Amino acid sequence: MLTFGSSSITIVAVIGVIALAALVCAAVMRKQVLAAPEGSPGMQDIAKGVQEGASAYLNRQFRTLALFAVVVFALLFLLPGDGGIRVGRSIAFLFGAGFSAAIGYLGMWLAVRANVRVASAATRPGGRAEGARIAFRTGGVVGMSVVGLGLLGAALVVLFYRTDAPAVLEGFGFGAALLAMFMRVGGGIFTKAADVGADLVGKVEQGIPEDDPRNAATIADNVGDNVGDCAGMAADLFESYAVTLVAALILGKAAMGEQGLVFPLIVTAIGALVALLGVLVTRVRGNENGLKAINRGFYLSAVVGALLAAVAAFTYLPSSFSELAGTADLGDVTSDPRVVASLAVVIGVVLAGIILWITGYFTGTTSKPTLHVAATSRTGAATVVLSGIGVGFESAVYTAGVIAAAICGVFLLAGGSIWLSLFLVALAGCGLLTTVGVIVAMDTFGPVSDNAQGIAEMSGEVDEEGAQILTDLDAVGNTTKAITKGIAIATAVLAATALFGSYADAVGTAMAEVQEIGTGLVPAMLSFEIISPVTLVGVILGAATVFLFSGLAIDAVTRAAGAIVFEVRRQFREHPGIMTFDERPEYGKVVDICTRDSLRELATPGLLAAFAPIAVGFGLGVGPLAGFLGGAIGAGVLMAVFLANSGGAWDNAKKIVEDGAFGGKGSEAHEATIIGDTVGDPFKDTAGPAINPLIKVMNLVALLIAPAVVILSVPADANQVLRIGIAVVAAAVAFGAVIVSRLRAARVDREQADETAAVPAR
């Protein structure tokens, strides 16, 4: 029986105090951001519209998701297990979901108040450094909150449940991942519907600037930046933090016993200190490029985090695996646990740094791939789209290869022990997430600087020098957003790989309680052999689910953007005074359309993610479900990187042309890059980022249902009827949602065709 000593309790209590200190630091930095000048009344008026729209959207979204959370809370009680564990897991689910929602709301709330302050900073001497400081410090608040709440939730569960904590934390991670996925999908649909609609009508059809106040979609576009990139990404990185911790604690308990349960918490607590250091040292010096300053802060914090983790390993862990009380068979591992744990953390930190570099190379405004995409604008939109797709495909291979190399490196460290290597993969994820505070700050920097540029352009109160400062900050923000998406994908893969091991642990535990397996189909359903045809079916279905999910997300943006295009066209057509500044556009109508459509569309991909693994698990067995997870991880990493980096390259290629290359603004090359950027919008900000929580949600669902699948797979006529019934219902829910989505798409097409026919020809 694994014990939990008083020294471990003391360490976990100290970690809880560190989590509270991180939240205090976030509150202090929040006060510093809000102390900056808000700018002119005109700027404040625009910012207020963005604030109201963002708050209204998230409030409506949370009311919708609250009902879903209550249903899942009740369903978790039906899973097999000890009564106390089931209650704790369900309550932890609510806390995970609540923390994820709180992080998302906090990110949005502060970002929509920081944007006007960054715009105001550009009007004063030293505006570049001051604007970058405010934007990055805003992200620092969200980053410290992510670290604080994630660490606090895990520490409290470990203090209350001790050695049973991993089972309870499954609920915490599931709640965080589920809410993050919905916020990612809903916010992504909102932001890209507004962005695409604004670009197609305003920039392409009317020939007006991107953030021109005459475009009715501009406020919705700025709102979308915050509910998608701030709220959605903050929630996404929080659930990465939570889920990686869950996997590390489950596997740590199996591999190293009590020390394996505590050490991942120590590593992530170091991340709180590192996050504060990274945020405080990131300062732009004079006319220095903002990306250089941000990279400097990231790399410094990463190195410090790796060193402190090594110190913690050599201080806390014993020198031999024989001194550890893990339950997993580690074979003949003779290496020093202090060394392998330290190196695993280093691998995670190095992985983050390499992905930062790779993503920056493929999406940066000064790098060859993006310059190539911009150069293809001379021959039209088609070649811009083709070159961007090529960049995305190529970058996906390199990123996936680096992640695979990291996993192989961890496997070599483990001396071939599967269980130890899985724990070390989770530990590498914890190492990568020691920098999560800085990563969140980098991501939030993007939408804050983007909004600041929009506010400046709409108010018309920023001179040419200030406008150039904000343009430069926006370009940096595009790159940092792409970088954080790449790092988020890496954390998703490491967490999903570790959860894969946790799933095997759950299946093994359940199988140990089965007295008789029987003959026929049952052994094949319970087998993990990849050579089995039914397991390969699971692999194919897992990969197919990623493609279907991505297609649904992009198609949802297409429909919502179509509605925005028709609305903005209507306003220009029926109110000609808008173009002469004699009439004010109806911004609120566009915000309402985005809100309605995004909330309506987010249900389909969410139901697919939750019910597809249930259908595969109960329908085909735990072996095919393992294949399903493997297929989803493999296809997910490639698809997510492809979508994110293609979109990032298209976005910055447009920036290059707008800065004067190949004819500059208003040229045919500019129009070509606008089309490329429009195609890339749902790639990089909706479908791509949503794959991260998707693969973790599916892994967590599989982890939660694994014992029930094993129990219902053993020979018993009543069990088989119930098992097949659950599979049929789950499949009906998943594919029923897809069918409803297709029918809704057909109805929208008919309505738009009728509306087009009713408009008099020009």
DSSP states along 195-215: HHHHIIIIIIIS---TT-TT-
Query: Do the Cβ atoms of 565 and 748 come closer than 8 Å?
Result: no
Q: Note the pLDDT of residue 510.
A: 67
761, containing H or E segment: none
Sign of torsion, CA 363 365 114 135?
A: positive
Length of the chain: 762
Q: Which two tokens stand for residue 172?
A: 């915490």
pLDDT surpassing 60 at residue 760:
no
Nearest to 353 by CA among 423, 299, 291, 284: 299
Confidence of residue 328 (pLDDT cuts 50, 70, 90): low
| Beta carbons within 10 angstroms of residue 85's beta carbon | 18
Percentage of residues of the chain with pLDDT beyond 70: 91
User: Position of tokens 């946790």?
Assistant: 502
Q: Would you give the distance in Å from CA 504 to the centre of its chain?
A: 25
| Of 112, 109, 145, 100, the residue nearest 236 (C-alpha) | 100
- For the stretch 306-318, pLDDT in tens is 899 899 989 988 8
Torsion of CA 748, 754, 755, 757, to 10 degrees: 140
3-class secondary structure, 621: coil
The answer to whether 442 and 229 have CB atoms below 8 angstroms apart is: no
**456-465, 614-623, 651-660, 671-680: least confidently modelled range:** 456-465
pLDDT tens digits along 442-455: 878 878 888 888 78
pLDDT at 1: 46
Give the alpha-carbon dihedral of 250, 253, 259, 260, to 10 degrees: -50
CB 342 within 8 A of CB 427: no
What's the confidence (pLDDT) of residue 748? 67
Band of pLDDT at residue 761, cut at 50, 70 and 90? very low
Coil, helix or strand at residue 241: helix
At residue 527, the pLDDT reads 58
Question: Token pair of 188, please?
Answer: 């992504």
Rounded-to-integer distance, Cα 754 and Cα 250, Å:
56
Position 328, amino acid: A
Q: How far, rounded to the nearest angstrom, does the alpha carbon of residue 580 sit from its chain's CA centroid?
A: 41
* Maximum average pLDDT range among 58-67, 651-660, 736-745: 651-660
Q: What is the rounded CA–CA span in Å between residue 74 and residue 86?
A: 10
Q: Which amino acid is at 496?
A: A
- Does residue 60 register a pLDDT over 50? yes
Residue 367 sits at φ, ψ, to 5 deg, of -95, 155
CA angle (722, 724, 725) in 5-degree steps: 60
Distance CA 224, CA 236 (A): 16
Taking the C-alpha atoms of residue 449 and residue 44, their distance in angstroms, rounded to an integer, is: 16
Paired tokens of 657 = 């042309």
Q: Greater confidence, 268 or 327?
A: 268
For residue 113, the one-letter residue type is R
Q: What is the DSSP string of 266-306?
A: HHHHHHHHHHHHHHHH----TT--HHHHHHHHHHHHHHHHH
Residue 116: what residue type? V
Contact 110, 144 (CB under 8 A): no
What string of H, E and C letters represents the secondary structure of 363-419? HCCCCHHHHHHHHHHHHCHHHHHHHHHHHHHHHHHHHHHHHHHHHHHHHHHCCCCHH
Say what the pLDDT of residue 383 is.
Answer: 93
Q: State the amino acid at position 327 in one-letter form.
A: T
- Predicted pLDDT at 504: 72
Q: How far apart are CA 626 and CA 635, in angstroms?
A: 14
> Helix 233-256 crosses helix 436-459 at what angle (to 10 degrees)?
180
Cβ 57 vs Cβ 595: under 8 Å: yes
Contact 248, 491 (CB under 8 A): no
Question: Residue 212 — left, alpha, or beta (φ > 0 → left; ψ -120 to 50 → alpha)?
Answer: beta
Angle at alpha carbon of residue 322, lines to 258 and 349, rounded to 5°: 60
Query: In angstroms, rounded to a whole number, what is the distance separating the alpha carbons of residues 553 and 565?
Result: 18
Q: Is the pLDDT of residue 749 over 70?
A: no
Burial bucket for residue 63 (CB in 10 Å: 0-12, 13-18, 19+): exposed
Both tokens of residue 140? 């620092």
168-172, 258-262, 307-311, 461-465: segment of lowest average pLDDT: 461-465
pLDDT of residue 393: 93
Residue 524 in this model has a pLDDT that exceeds 70: no
Rounded to an integer, what distance in angstroms lies between the CA atom of residue 1 and that of residue 5?
13
Phi, psi of 286 (to 5 degrees): 60, -125
Collapsing DSSP states into helix, strand and coil, what is residue 367? coil
Contact 653, 384 (CB under 8 A): yes
What does pTM read for this prediction?
0.82
Average pLDDT score, the chain: 82
| 388 touches 403 (CB < 8 A) | no
Count helices and strands in the chain by DSSP H and E runs: 23, 0
Please name which of 51, 146, 72, 64 lies closest in space to residue 102, comparing C-alpha atoms.
146
**Cα 685 to Cα 232: distance, rounded to the nearest angstrom:** 10
Confidence (pLDDT) at 472 = 78
Place of tokens 């609120």: 588
E strands present in 522-679: none
The 10s digit of each residue's pLDDT in 136-175 is 888 888 888 888 888 888 888 888 887 778 788 888 888 8
Report pLDDT digits (tens) over 1-30.
Answer: 456 677 878 888 899 899 999 999 999 989
Q: What is the pLDDT of residues 612-646, one digit of tens each?
A: 999 998 888 888 888 898 899 899 989 998 998 89
Q: Pick 750 or 689 by higher pLDDT.
A: 689
* Confidence (pLDDT) at 762: 46
CA distance linking residue 172 with residue 150, whole number of Å? 10
- Look at residue 437 in the predicted model and tell me its pLDDT: 79
CA angle 213, 216, 221 (to 5 degrees): 85
Sign, Cα dihedral of 424, 430, 435, 439:
positive
Task: Evaluate whether 452 touches 270 at the Cβ level (below 8 Å).
Answer: no
The answer for residues whose C-beta is within 8 angstroms of residue 426's C-beta and 6 or more apart is 244, 247, 248, 251, 252, 264, 494, 495, 498, 501
